[in-house]
Amino acid sequence: MDRLLKRVEQLNRIGIALSAEKQFEKLLEMILHGAKELTGADGGTLYTVTPENTLAFDIIATDSLGIAMGGTTGEAIKFAPIPLLDNQGRPISNMVVTSAVHQGRTINIPDAYDAEGYDFSGTREFDRQTAYRTRSLLTVPMKNHQDEIIGVLQLINAKDLDNGEVVPFSTTDQQLAESLASQAAVALTNQRLISDLKKLFESFIQLIATAIDQKSPYTASHCKRIPALTMMLAEAAHRTDSGPLVDFRMTEEDRYELETAAWLHDCGKITSPEYVIDKSTKLETIFDRIELIDTRFEVLKRDAEIRYLKKQLESPDQSLAQQVQDEYRQEVAELDAERNFLRKANIGREFMSEQDRQRVADIAQRRWKNPDDQIVELLNPEERYNLTISKGTLNNEERTVINNHMVATIKMLESLPFPKHLANVPEYAGGHHERMDGKGYPKGLKREEMSVPARVMAIADVFEALSARDRPYKRGKKLTECLRIMSEMTLDNHLDPDLFDIFIKQQVYLEYAKENMHPDQVDEVDISQLSFYRKRAGSVTESRHSA
């Protein structure tokens, strides 16, 4: 009775351990080793039922032969899965493990060599090659909560606890093994349900990211590249062994949480109108309105030509005719120059000088006769407003619409019932447009108010945007130019200086560039020429002189 109580306590202990185990391979090992321990079996195999109606070998162990394969052993199982059905779809029942599945019951065989009705030729061949002697077999089907068989636990050669001799599996052994198999089936089912839900969740967030990327040809793959770059920088920060971020460390759950946030960082863009996202020039709406302005210039040139021809007819004097012709050519040249200037101004750039903005205003005042026979200014107020956008292609109102995607992102994510291990996803995803000096959006957070992962995402978003080749208003920049701009942004308290230093020193930019940037963009980088490091070097020199 004492021995039985100890075995029941052992069963409870194993059951509790099975419920707590999160790694699938370790769980399989615990099931088999626990069953062997409970029954005193020398060996055993754990099979799982596959969607292809086969029994796959998951883990094999035989103590007396020193055999351990599958699970976490690192030793691959090379045996082919055992089919449950023949070519005509009929059950295969001449093997013990397949019969246990089809009959849905435990099969307890005292001696394999004396058993009838089963094919043990493979067992006998194994024994011949290894000098082993297979005697007792206990084969237990594992059923889930829906009474479906998901696997088979097979134990070999029970040993007498007193003398170590091989004996048949007792009724108590069978009951304990069946109890363990039942608990194991629950644990395996839970693991699979969790795994399936995790896969569904990951597929769903990637589906959202893909939908956002495909919403606009100009942001294709942005939502896919950000997770890659974010994790590269986060891992680099995790590896650092000195400096301000020496204590930053990530667990596997931390990594999963950050990568999830990176996938969802722009989910609010699903609410952004396409005409704003896809605005490739300053005058683009349904079409690029620069074409309307081109037409007006053609009208002005036509009118100039009419005036010139009239003067030619009215001026028989040859010298005067030459003067009229020169004036006409000069006027056409001025019109062409102004039209070309406006076409260039229509292309969004990173900076438009005040001088160029003033020239747009001057050209706007040129007069022309519209189709209603009215004399009006060449550019209407809305066209002039858009053509003088100082950066990019979006005016203030459109930029507000775009910026609102961060508000939408945060609202959408905060409305989701994230589990505890994903509780920081809204904060990480919603902070990649904040600045270290509090001048970012949407919350105007300062550096000390942001987590390290949120600051990591801010750097990833900037670098991807600078290097991307698919933006409507610019070409993808080379590495040197990207890092020069980011260096200045860091000095301007836009980006986190400690993370930028890691980004540069550990060559995260180069790791990303080799995988995601065009070879033409990957030029030689001299970090000593970056303003961030020049200023640091100057500060050190100044400090030494002061000392």
Number of domains in the chain: 3
Q: Are residues 175 and 308 in the same domain?
A: no
Per the listing, tokens 């000593």 go with 528
- Contact between 395 and 383 under an 8 Å Cβ cutoff? The reply is no
8 A C-beta contact, residue 503 and residue 236: yes
CA 207 – CA 213 distance, rounded (Å): 10
SS3 251: coil
Residue 53: inside a domain, yes or no? yes
Do 37 and 133 belong together in one domain?
yes
Quote the tokens at residue 369.
């006769």
Q: Looking at the structure, tell me whether residues 182 and 110 fall in a common domain.
A: yes
**Distance between CA atoms of 460 and 499, rounded to whole angstroms?**
10
- pLDDT category, 470, cuts 50, 70, 90? low
Q: Could you tell me how many residues make up the chain?
A: 547
In this prediction, residues 206-228 reach a mean pLDDT of 78
Q: Are residues 419 and 360 in the same domain?
A: no
Question: What per-residue confidence (pLDDT) applies to 482?
Answer: 94
pTM for the structure as a whole: 0.70
What pLDDT score was predicted for residue 112?
93
Q: The tokens of 79 are what?
A: 């045996």
Domain that holds residue 41: 2-194
Task: Give the domain CATH number at 523.
Answer: 1.10.3210.10
Is the same domain home to 253 and 309? Answer: no
Mean pLDDT value of segment 214-229:
77
Answer yes or no: is 200 within a domain: no
Does 237 lie in the same domain as 147?
A: no
Last residue of a domain, one of 334, 366, 393: 393
> Does 282 fall in a domain?
no
Residue 347 and residue 456 in one domain: no
Q: Verify cis geometry, omega within 30 degrees of 0, for the bond prior to 442.
A: yes
Tell me what pLDDT residue 349 has: 76
Q: What is the pLDDT of residues 319-342, one digit of tens each?
A: 777 888 888 999 999 999 999 999
Rounded mean pLDDT of 276-296?
A: 87
Please indicate, yes or no, if residue 211 is contained in any of the structural domains.
Answer: no
The pLDDT of residue 216 is: 66
> Mean pLDDT over residues 68-84, rounded?
91
- What pLDDT shows up at residue 218? 56
3-class secondary structure, 322: helix
Same domain, 79 and 109: yes
CATH code of 42's domain:
3.30.450.40
Residue 434 — very low, low, confident or very high, per pLDDT cuts 50/70/90? Answer: very high
Backbone CA torsion sign across 272, 273, 276, 277: positive
**To which residue do tokens 């680099």 refer?**
236
Whether 539 is covered by a domain: the verdict is yes
In angstroms, how far is CA 15 from the centroid of its own chain?
36
Q: What is the pLDDT of residues 29-43, one digit of tens each?
A: 888 888 898 899 999
7 and 136 in a single domain? The answer is yes
Does some domain include residue 284? no
* 205 within domain boundaries: no
User: Each residue of 436-445: pLDDT tens digit?
Assistant: 999 998 999 9
Dump pLDDT digits (tens) for 391-415: 888 888 888 887 788 888 889 999 9
> Do 140 and 181 meet the contact criterion of CB atoms below 8 Å apart?
yes
Q: Which of 468, 476, 532 has its CA nearest to residue 500?
A: 532
Q: How far is CA 484 from CA 73, 108, 372, 478, in A?
A: 49, 74, 51, 10
Question: Does residue 339 sit within a domain?
Answer: yes
The answer to whether residues 67 and 126 touch, using CB atoms and an 8 Å cutoff, is: no
Q: What is the structure's pLDDT at 545?
A: 43
pLDDT-above-70 percentage for the chain: 95
Tell me which of 194, 229, 246 is where a domain ends: 194
In DSSP notation, 134-150 reads: ---EEEEEEE-TTS-EE
Cα-Cα end-to-end distance for the chain = 83
User: 15 φ, ψ to 5°?
Assistant: -60, -40
Provide the mean pLDDT of the chain. Answer: 89
DSSP state of 119: -
Cα(387)–Cα(382) distance, integer angstroms: 9
Where does residue 8 rank: exposed (0-12), middle (13-18), buried (19+ CB within 10 A)?
A: middle
| Shared domain check, 269 and 171 | no
For residues 171 and 208, the model is more confident at 171
Q: Which of 194, 224, 251 is the last residue of a domain?
A: 194
Q: Looking at the structure, do residues 520 and 412 belong to the same domain, yes or no?
A: yes
Is 80 exceeded by the pLDDT of residue 524?
yes
Residue 145: CB atoms within 10 A of its CB come to 10
C-alpha span between 30 and 181 (Å, rounded)? 11
* 242 token code pair: 């000195």
Q: Which two structure tokens, joined as six digits, stand for 102?
A: 């089809």
pLDDT score at 217: 59
Put residue 221 in one of left, alpha, beta given phi > 0 → left and psi -120 to 50 → alpha.
left
Q: What is the mean pLDDT of residues 481-497?
A: 95
Contact (CB, 8 A) for 24 and 177: no
Q: Which residues make Cβ contacts (< 8 Å) with residue 497, sequence separation at least 6?
A: 436, 490, 532
Q: Taking Cα atoms as reference points, which of 343, 347, 381, 346 lies closest to residue 361?
A: 381
Q: What is the Rg, in whole angstroms, of the alpha carbon atoms belonging to the chain?
A: 37
Residues 233 and 318 in one domain: no
- Residue 547 is predicted with a pLDDT of 45
Q: How far apart are CA 338 and CA 328, in angstroms?
A: 15
State how far the Cα of 9 lies from the Cα of 34, in Å rounded to an integer: 12
- Between 307 and 3, the more confident residue is 307
176/188 Cα distance (integer angstroms): 18
Please state the separation of Cα 309 from the chain's center in Å.
Answer: 66
